[in-house]
Amino acid sequence: MAVGYSEEHIKTLEWREHIRLRPGMYIGKLGDGSSQDDGVYVLLKEVMDNAIDEFMMGNGKKIDVSIIGKEVRVRDYGRGIPLGKVLDAVSKMNTGAKYDSEAFKKSVGLNGVGVKAVNALSSKFVIRSIREGQLKVSEFEHGVTIKDNPIIPTDEENGVEVIFQPDETMFGNYYFISEYVDTMLKNYVYLNAGLVINFNGNKFFSRNGLVDLLNENMNKEGLYPIIHLTGDDIEIAFTHGLQYGEDYYSFVNGQNTTQGGTHLIVFREALVKTIRDFYKKDYDPSDIRSSIIAAISIKVEEPIFESQTKTKLGSKDMGPEGPSVRNFISEFIKKQLDDFLHKNPETAKIILKKIQDSEKERKAISSIQKLARDRAKKVSLHNKKLRDCRTHYNTNDSNKLDSTIFITEGDSASGSITKSRNVETQAVFSLRGKPLNSFGLTKKIVYENEEFNLLQAALNIEDGIENLRYNNVVVATDADVDGMHIRLLLLTFFLQFFPDLVRKGHVYILQTPLFRVRNKKETRYCYSPDEKTKAIKALGPNPEMTRFKGLGEISPDEFIHFIGKDMRLEPVRMKKNDSVNGFLEFFMGKNTPDRQDFIIGNLRIEDDVIEEEM
């Protein structure tokens, strides 16, 4: 049947309606706060970016941030929004000072959309602007103006305060993870010397810029002192460690470009070329960059990002009249790094040995690498282990942030997830038995072990996580002893060979219910004995209660509830002081009295669980 198409099908949405209808265009994804790229953090970032832009233009030396429950406050001490334009600045599209390149020369945001998205996606939004002894306050709910207060006198310092509470009807039962907020705010101070950010009683300040950033994110000292190169509109810091993989932090105008872009691509290429020229040998790029930890920050006039969330730089030029990004970065590295290596021969020797060691290891596994690749390609054509999805993280698809792979144990569990998954964004990889304990082994085992090789191929991380095919790598195992053991073996594999997967916040544990409690009218799924007790009381006398002993026992019809919009994911996080080697040695090394004491000391037996088993 033909579908009608006439004037009534043409709709014009208000600004707030469009943002709420298509939030992905403005903040990437919604999320519940369990992932670093969830929308609640993007809202905070959008408000922070405006405060940072004020600091970068020389206005205000500190920013106060607080998050209490679900309410966020950000107070800067800049110039304040002109009082007659406060309401328009946060509620009218195409309104803002960022269009004036003299007012904000090298700012993060240019289109004036960010804070309006915060307004539209918040159940409560208050903007306070103070200028020269006068205060203007406007209040909103869901982007709708509730009160536009008259200007009144005040003795407060100049600046802007934004108070908002993300809308639960959009984000669900969200929460803020303080470690994620800490990381965001620390990055701001690393990139802005002299800036102080106060967050919930903690003070963040940096004297050494990107050197402090690397030290914050390194568990151990590098093989040599961090090389720190600075110039007009560019700052670079890097060293090599002993870990596998490459670890990069890239920034444009203070914005953390988590997906890199032009500047990071050029940096990686220029580093290789300069090293090759200095040592006068055509080393493989992977050997030069193996185990590197590096940060690059550049400032660009009128930057072009590939999305509103500004996670990937697309600019080719430094500004309307400036050089290309490629030439600017390449020439800077060529001169500055070459000069540094000539002046620091001891560091140059250490770098050379590291390259040669990486080359030796790579050649040692080259004989089995081709066979392993061919095997992985062959299996991918007839692969029953991987049921792929249509959207991938390393594409320009708007759903790429939702791209997820579930790593399951056994055919029954993978079958249930496969039947209930969203084929657009969710893939499934089925393990066969328990993985090998890879602690203390070299990367050669990744190619020799079929299970690891196929998992590596499925994730597409052989050459680094920049080609990662799924934003969310979810370990989905049973909540029993065997399932916990498999989780630990998988985490050992990731931390041993691909630690940046964990550091960059891509790895999660799927939380599935332990119990189902229901009566004729209602079904409740419970993730803990406490939830089960509350459900039994709420549903009245003698409800039916089932304990799930494994994922395979959960039918596809039920599983859809646990991997849909209400999916519970527990992020696998690492802190600076978390030593990967120490962690793996303790839990996955040879049995020790210390580990035995730890297990005994942390043994917990739930009485009601035992009753269910008897």
Q: 311-338, pLDDT tens digit by residue?
A: 666 656 555 455 688 888 999 999 999 9
CA atoms within 13 A on the CB side of 498: 27
pLDDT score at 336: 95
**In the chain, what percentage of residues exceed pLDDT 90?**
38
Q: What token pair was written down for 157?
A: 């310092």
More confident residue, 104 or 464: 464
pLDDT score at 343: 95
Q: How crowded is residue 613: how many other Cβ atoms within 10 Å of its Cβ?
A: 8
pLDDT score at 367: 64
More confident residue, 504 or 539: 539
- Beta 515-518 vs 523-526: how paired, if at all? antiparallel
Return the minimum-mean-pLDDT range out of 136-145, 242-251, 457-466, 594-603. Answer: 594-603
Interior angle at CA 603, CA 599 and CA 609, nearest 5: 145
- Is pLDDT of 413 > 70? yes
Average pLDDT, stretch 535-547?
90
Do residues 89 and 74 touch, judged by C-beta distance below 8 A?
no
Residue-averaged pLDDT of the chain: 83
pLDDT bracket for residue 438 (50, 70, 90): confident
- Is pLDDT of 148 > 50? yes
Amino acid (one-letter) located at 330: S
Enter the CATH code of domain 383-512+548-613: 3.40.50.670
> What 3-state class would DSSP assign to 146?
strand
User: What own/partner pairs with CB < 8 Å and gap ≥ 24 does 429-433 have?
Assistant: 429/385, 429/386, 429/387, 429/405, 429/454, 429/455, 429/458, 430/384, 430/385, 430/386, 431/385, 431/407, 431/486, 432/385
Average pLDDT, stretch 330-352?
95
pLDDT score at 342: 96
Do residues 149 and 139 touch, judged by C-beta distance below 8 A?
yes
Rounded alpha-carbon distances, angstroms, from residue 3 to 9, 12, 504: 11, 20, 46
- Is pLDDT of 203 > 50? yes
Average pLDDT, stretch 387-416?
84
Enter the CATH code of domain 210-361: 3.30.230.10
**In the chain, what percentage of residues exceed pLDDT 70?**
83
pLDDT score at 237: 95
pLDDT bracket for residue 414 (50, 70, 90): confident
pLDDT score at 189: 93
pLDDT score at 428: 93
pLDDT score at 162: 96
The model's pTM? 0.72
Phi first, then psi: what are they for 529, rounded to 5°? -60, -35
Q: What CATH number does domain 15-204 carry, 2.40.50.180, 3.30.565.10, 3.30.980.20, 3.40.50.2000?
A: 3.30.565.10
Tell me which residue of 518, 514, 596, 504 sits closest to 554, measured CA to CA. 514
More confident residue, 307 or 103: 307
More confident residue, 489 or 4: 489
pLDDT score at 257: 81
- Is pLDDT of 87 > 70? yes
Average pLDDT, stretch 210-219?
88
Average pLDDT, stretch 414-430?
90
- Is pLDDT of 604 > 60? no
pLDDT score at 111: 40
Question: 358-386: per-residue pLDDT in tens?
Answer: 998 888 777 666 666 666 555 554 456 88
The structural domains of the chain, with segments of one domain joined by +, span 15-204, 210-361, 383-512+548-613
Three-state DSSP string of 498-513: CHHHHHCCCEEEEECC
pLDDT score at 110: 42
